[in-house]
């Protein structure tokens, strides 16, 4: 799916959830449930590789599952352009598009073999502040990959989901020597990838925006992604950090994209239904409580770092 089309689709669904009518998608987007049809979802016109899924009751939201064409997304944060290591000729050679985005954070890569999930959720109804929402997304991914035998985890101070893989791709700038001359402040390893690495490697990046209490953007889980494309950037602005994928970790045992989609949807439903039940129980008890929950507005955003 072309990134610009995905961003416009998110904005449309975001407004619908704000208006209390989630699930009413534009006419050129069709529901195609893997569970029901055995297909990953087929869109008309330029919209492809997308599979919208209703995930909870009315008023809570919609989950959009997408595989993007190769694209690097860059935020408006000052200094982010310094983390782009490839010039326009190199990006053209690799077939990678460069797009601005309105999420929080830094720079990241999306491409085929990467499952991108855009949860469009009413966080105020779920009584989730931004920090709790990010931790919920991380837990959903941790539980999803655990179903396939991967032990993933959080790393203190670094948003996202990580794995202690023993292997991983670091940003190495292979073939990008000319562009690196302008990035003397970025520390890069000399060894070419793949390389042995006993530290944590990032399996899934997170980056969100919240508009009038409803989320946009979300997470990017590397299933069978071409990890060499990460060499064109400093992912999330973190130099000397590895990235990995389910395929790197599992080899021939890697599940299909449809299998990962189905498990991710199941974990979203499980976690959000649990959250809804916990909120309902608290409402029934009606015990006076002091809470730090605040309404989330347009200014809230976060990204893996």
Residues with a known catalytic role: 236
The structure tokens listed for 213 are: 């209490």
Q: 195 pairs with which residues across the strands?
A: 168
CA distance 164 to 151: 8
CA R_g for the chain: 19
CA distance 148 to 31: 26
Host H or E run for residue 3: helix 3-18
Do residues 75 and 106 lie in contact, with contact meaning Cβ atoms separated by under 8 Å?
Answer: yes
* Beta-sheet pairing, 301-303 with 214-222: unpaired
Mention every residue, 6+ apart, whose C-beta is less than 8 A from residue 167.
194, 195, 196, 197, 201, 244, 248
Do residues 193 and 174 lie in contact, with contact meaning Cβ atoms separated by under 8 Å?
Answer: yes
Q: Tell me how many degrees the CA angle 61-66-97 measures, rounded to the nearest 5.
A: 130
Look at the block and give the residue holding tokens 């009518």.
21
The structure tokens listed for 63 are: 């989950």
List own/partner pairs for 184-191 with CB under 8 A and 24 or more apart.
185/82, 186/82, 186/83, 186/85, 186/234, 186/239, 187/239, 187/240, 188/239, 188/240, 189/240
Closest to 143 in 3D by CA, of 271, 33, 249? 271
Do residues 115 and 257 lie in contact, with contact meaning Cβ atoms separated by under 8 Å?
Answer: yes
């Amino acid at each position: 799916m072309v990134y610009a089309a995905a961003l416009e689709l998110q904005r449309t669904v975001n407004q619908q959830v704000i208006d209390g009518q989630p699930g009413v998608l534009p006419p050129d987007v069709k529901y195609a449930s893997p569970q029901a049809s055995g297909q990953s979802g087929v869109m008309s016109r330029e919209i492809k590789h997308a599979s919208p899924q209703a995930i909870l009751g009315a008023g809570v939201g919609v989950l959009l599952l997408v595989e993007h064409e190769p694209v690097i997304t860059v935020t408006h944060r000052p200094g982010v352009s310094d983390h782009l290591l490839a010039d326009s000729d190199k990006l053209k050679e690799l077939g990678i598009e460069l797009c601005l985005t309105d999420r929080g954070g830094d720079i990241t890569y999306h491409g085929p073999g990467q499952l991108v999930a855009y949860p469009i959720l009413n966080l105020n109804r779920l009584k989730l502040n931004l920090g709790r929402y990010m931790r919920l997304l991380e837990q959903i991914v941790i539980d999803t990959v655990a179903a396939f035998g991967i032990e993933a985890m959080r790393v203190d101070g670094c948003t996202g989901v990580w794995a202690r893989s023993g292997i991983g791709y670091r940003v190495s700038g292979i073939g990008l020597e000319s562009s690196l001359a302008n990035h003397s402040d970025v520390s890069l390893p000399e060894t070419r990838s793949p390389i042995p690495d006993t530290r944590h490697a990032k399996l899934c990046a997170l980056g969100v925006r919240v508009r009038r209490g409803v989320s946009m953007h979300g997470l990017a889980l590397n299933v069978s992604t071409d990890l060499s494309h990460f060499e064109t950037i400093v992912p999330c602005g973190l130099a000397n950090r590895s990235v990995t994928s389910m395929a790197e970790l599992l080899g021939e045992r890697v599940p299909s994209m449809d299998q990962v989609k189905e498990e991710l949807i199941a974990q979203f439903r499980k976690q959000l239904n649990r959250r809804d039940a916990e909120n309902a129980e608290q409402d029934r008890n009606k015990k006076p409580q002091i809470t730090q929950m605040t309404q989330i507005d347009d200014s809230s955003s976060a990204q893996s770092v």
